[in-house]
Amino acid sequence: MPKQILPSHEELAWFTQVLIRRGFRPVSMVEFRKVFERLVIIPPTPRIGRELGFTFSANGLEVVVWTTFVPEAGKARDQDAGWILIKEGDQVKYFARPVHRTKHYVHRLAWLACIARLRVLDRPTCPSCGAYMDIAMGEVVKSRYWRCRNRVHKQINLPWDINLPVEAKRYLERIRSARRRYRDTLRREGRDEVVIPAVFKRRGWTVGKSENLKR
């Protein structure tokens, strides 16, 4: 894996501005403490300081962005990659692929945060009954689609990227094809066994009080 870099103050200021302008707000200390009180979350390794996170809510869904950056320490977590997820209550419906802290880290995290925001902001409604559609898991690891949970009609699914603007689709296509090329290279070199989907090696936090999870 390429060397991890630390985003500069300018990059973080730019990132913060991009997100704030689009209606994200920083996850506050109070909220952070509530999650710990309610769920007794235990990190895999002891952590000092609080990581800078942003949240955006619309249409009953919430986007959360974790930057790995710890402002009070003036540094980032050692090994973590940045994360973007979409939640409904406490249920994580979607984890974007982790963003590693390589050269384009801040830029890529901003793009993916904005794309997740657009998914939530333009959450599709069912073409048949008009209800909000839900995020459902596809058969391929990490794949998602929109599904109507209403059973008064036959099952209706819509593609995950359905309401994204053209620029967002283009950006996703660029990173998806880069990923395909990377995978093909590994396969040609007989190294494909090292590609473990990040979904299986997530941070490893445990929830001490799962009865308090909000569904």
Q: Which is nearer to Zn ion, 80 or 88 (CB)?
A: 88
Least gap, CB of 61 to Zn ion (angstroms): 17
Q: Which is nearer to Zn ion, 77 or 144 (CB)?
A: 144
Q: Which is nearer to Zn ion, 109 or 126 (CB)?
A: 126
Least gap, CB of 127 to Zn ion (angstroms): 8
Least gap, CB of 181 to Zn ion (angstroms): 38
Least gap, CB of 140 to Zn ion (angstroms): 24
Q: State the residue number with the nearest CB to Zn ion.
A: 126
Token pair 């320490």 is found at 73
Helix (H, G, I), strand (E, B) or coil at 180: helix
Give the footprint of Zn ion on this chain (CB under 5 A).
126, 128-129, 148, 150
49-53 long-range contacts (CB < 8 A, ≥24 apart) are 49/73, 51/77, 52/12, 52/26, 53/26, 53/27
Sequence-ordered list of residues with C-beta below 8 angstroms from that of 130, at least 6 positions apart, any chain: none
Beta-sheet pairing, 83-88 with 61-66? antiparallel
Q: Which is nearer to Zn ion, 42 or 162 (CB)?
A: 162
